[in-house]
Structures are given as C-alpha cells and as structure tokens.
Amino acid sequence: MKSKFFKTTFFVVAKLFALGFLLQSVSHAQADIEMVPGEILVKFNAGADVRNIHAANGTRTLEVIPRINVHVVGLGHGVDPIAAVERFNKNPNVEYAEVNGLYYVIHTSGVSVPNDTYFDSDQWNMYSINATSAWYVTKGSNTVKIAILDTGIQSNHEDLSGKVVLSKNYSKSRTLQDKYGHGTHVAGIAAAATNNGKGVAGVGYNCSLMNVKVLNDKGSGTWSGIANGIIWAADNGAKVINMSLGGYTGSSTLENAVNYAWGKGVVVVAAAGNEETNTPLYPAYYGNVIAVAATDFLDELAYFSTFGNWVDVAAPGDFIPSTYPLPYPYNYVYLSGTSMASPHVAGLACLLASQGRSRDNIRAAIENTTLYKGSYPIANGLIDAHKAVDYLIVP
C-alpha cells in the first residue's frame, strides 16, 4: 500500500498538471465547409424551361431533390462553381442558385470548467477522463436518469439537492437515506449538482438520479433485492444503472434481471471488484454489464483493482472526492474502490444518452475511445469522456 504521504505529494503534482492544462486550453470551434466540385444547387422558377437553360449553359440536371424541387446541376469540366452560381442567379427563370457545400463534422474543442468549490483543487479524477472537454460538447439532460443501486442517497445533501427524482427501497433498512456512507458518495461522482458554486462536480453534470436502495445500513444486500432494484429501475425510466457492488457467486436471478434491463435499452454498469486478481465479481462479470476497474491519479491501475480480459474499461477509483452523508464539515470525503470507478462510467453513459444515442452506441462510444488501451490488463483502457461524446452518434 502506498503511504498517505506519497499520495498527498502525487496529488499536489496532479493538481499542478491540471492547472497547466487549463491555462493552455483556448476555446474555439472550427467549421470546415468546402464545395463539391463540378456541382451547384439550383431552384428554378415554376414553369421555367429547364432543358433550354441547361442547353445555353452546357449543364445538366444530375438529380432533383424531392418536395423542395431543387436540382443538383452538373457543370462542365473545370467550370468554377462560384462563377456558375453567379451566372444562374442572374437568370430570371432561377429562384436561387448556390454551391453544393461539403459538410464535415464540426470539431469542437475547448473546456467547460464548473465553479464547484472543490473542482479545481481536488477533483483530479475529472481531468483524468477529460470531463471538462466533454462538458464543452454536452452537459447532459435532467430528463435522463441514472439509477444508483446502493446504500441509499442522502437526498437533502447540499450538493445533491433536487437531483434525486425517484426513490425505492429494496433493502431491509427502514430508511431510504444513506446510513452507511457509500451510495451518497457514488451518486455524487455520477451526478452531483454541478456548476452550482458548491461542493463537487459530477460526471453526469445535469443528469438526474434515482435512489434505489438495495444495500442495508451495513453495506450488504441480497441477490433478490438487487434483482428487484434492477427491474424497478428499468421499468421506471432509468437509462443507466450503476451498481458499485458485487458478490463472488453468480445468480441466475440476478443475470435475468440484468438481461431484462439491457433488453429495455438500459446501460448497466458495475464495479469489477477490489480483489487485486482476475477473480470474477457479479454482476460485473455478466456480458450485458460494463465492468469497471479502478485507476489512480497517475492513471495507473489502482493497487487494489480487479483486472482481467472480462473487465471492460477503467475509470478513476483511488482517492476520489465526493459527497458524503455526514453533517458539515464531513459532507465531502475521499473514498477508494472500484465502487468509485463505476459511477464515472455511469455519468458518462448519461451524457451519451442525453445526445440521443442507443444503448449499443453508448457502450461502443465508451469502450472504443479509451486512453492507454493495452497498458492495463483489461479489455480496453481508461475512459475518455471527450472522445466518447465526439464518437459517431447512432440514435
């Protein structure tokens, strides 16, 4: 185990890097628009003798765009489209003419840095996954819900206020509140109130939360409770389910519940475990679950993390700051575990869902854009929120 002293030292270094990154980043949007050579778009007036006009100009109609009746006009070899547009626009039988532009993806680069109190000073994890660049592209939608299947969420926490839109208790605890101090932390990483001038930022920024309490006040639960929680979340509009929990024996009931949610288009994310080995942990091990390993602030695999080719991606999980259910001044703490890594992926899944993507496109965007792939003993690398939100959108 690394000593706290070294951790603190590295943490300061990580912060300095983060600051340097900020100073160098300048926001800009760049659009590349070019013309299709040898083509222009022409809308002729009703009743115009198109054939005659073509004959006079040495042009021809390549296709007609239906409904709006616009002709894609082919020009002679070497004819400048801009000159052709000017000539056609002077013709009284032409309503308008314009070049046929080539549209490229508009590359967005820049950063959106939220004003949360501990963001710049403590949240190294958000810089590790390029969250500020991702938020420049999308901040997520409050209509998209992440179900946190956990020990409950302290919904009146100052930095989770208004975030929890639905709650359900499948644990043996009498309260929906978090008496153990886990679910509130996980919820904050996924989607704490962000850019609200206090506390921490959540990866899911504007995304909403569902508090599905499946673990009791000692932090444990049963397969049946979790299966119930998964089904309830899927039936009540969750687009993403986060499970920072696991057990060493599989359960058909649990796998059936996961498959039910997956079949309803829900993205299911779970912690890979803290075993330091490749031991399977359930539900993370199931095919329809994105299994998440943990990295530290050097972007290395965390010393405790489970690994193996069944683990899909990694996300920060060592020494992660987030919301905590004790009264001030302890309502923000650092915790470590793949429990902390999983909600980074869930928050990102919510940003991606907010872009109108399908379940499969969300998973592909997360898994196909990772950083340092091949450096970790897992299937992919460290999630890159920026590249993921820029990944080709398939609704």
Partner 1 sequence: MGFTHCSSVTHFVKLLIVIPFLVGCARQEIISAKEVPKTLSSVQNTEGLKVELNLNKPSYKLKEPTIMILTVTNKSKETCRYSFRSSQVYDFVVKEDNKEIWRWSADEVFAQVITELTLAPGKSESFEEIWEQVDNEGKNVRAGKYQVIGILATQPERISHPVSIEIR
d(CA 255, CA 258): 5
Tell me the β-bridge partners of 147: 210, 241
185 is catalytic: no
Active-site annotation holds for 344: no
* Residue of 123, 130, 244, 354 interacting with partner 1 (CB under 8 A): 244
Could you say which of 120, 150, 312, 318 is catalytic?
Answer: 150
| Distance separating alpha carbons of residues 321 and 312, to the nearest angstrom | 24
Show the tokens assigned to 210: 């569902």
219 near partner 1, judged by CB under 8 A: yes
128 is catalytic: no
Binding mask 314-343 for partner 1 (x = CB under 8 A): ---------------------xxxxxx-x-
CB of 161 to partner 1, least distance (A): 23
Smallest distance from partner 1 to CB 67, Å:
55
Taking the least distance from each CB to partner 1, the nearer of 130 and 342 is 342
Of the ranges 16-24, 122-130, 199-207, 265-273, which one interacts with partner 1 (CB under 8 A)? 265-273
Question: For partner 1, which is the closer residue by CB, 141 or 228?
Answer: 228
Per-position b or e across 110-129, b if 16+ CB within 10 A of its CB: ebbbbebeebbebbbbbbbb
Neighbour-count burial of 304, counting CB atoms closer than 10 A to its CB (0-12 exposed, 13-18 middle, 19+ buried):
middle
Neighbours of 285 (CB within 10 A): 21
**222 contributes a contact to partner 1 by CB under 8 A:** yes
The answer to whether residue 147 forms part of the interface with partner 1 (CB under 8 A) is no
How far out from the chain centre does Cα 350 lie? Answer: 5
Q: Tokens 């915790």 sit at which residue?
A: 335
Q: Which two tokens stand for residue 345?
A: 């992926």
Residues 271-310 that bind partner 1 (CB under 8 A): 271-276, 281-282, 303-304
Measured from the CB of residue 257, what is the shortest distance to partner 1 in angstroms?
12
- Quickly tell me which residue has 């980043």 as its tokens: 25
The stretch near partner 1 (CB under 8 A) out of 73-81, 247-255, 352-360, 369-377 is 247-255
Closer to partner 1 by Cβ: residue 140 or 246? 246
- Tell me the Cα Rg of the chain: 26
164-169 and 208-213 as β-strands: parallel, antiparallel, unpaired?
parallel
Say how many CA atoms lie within 13 Å of 80 toward its Cβ. Answer: 4
Which position among 182, 185, 344, 386 bears the catalytic label? 182
Nearer to partner 1, 59 or 323 (CB): 323
State CA 354 to chain mean position distance.
8
The contact pattern for partner 1, residues 159-188, with x = CB under 8 A and - = no contact, is ---------------------x-x--x---
Report if residue 116 touches partner 1, rule: CB under 8 A: no
- Pairing mode of beta strands 290-295, 164-169: unpaired
The answer to whether 44 and 50 are in contact (CB under 8 A) is yes
Which residues are the active-site residues?
A: 150, 182, 339
Per CB under 8 A, residues contacting partner 1 are 1, 3, 5, 150-151, 180, 182, 185, 215, 218-223, 226, 244-249, 271-276, 281-282, 303-304, 335-340, 342
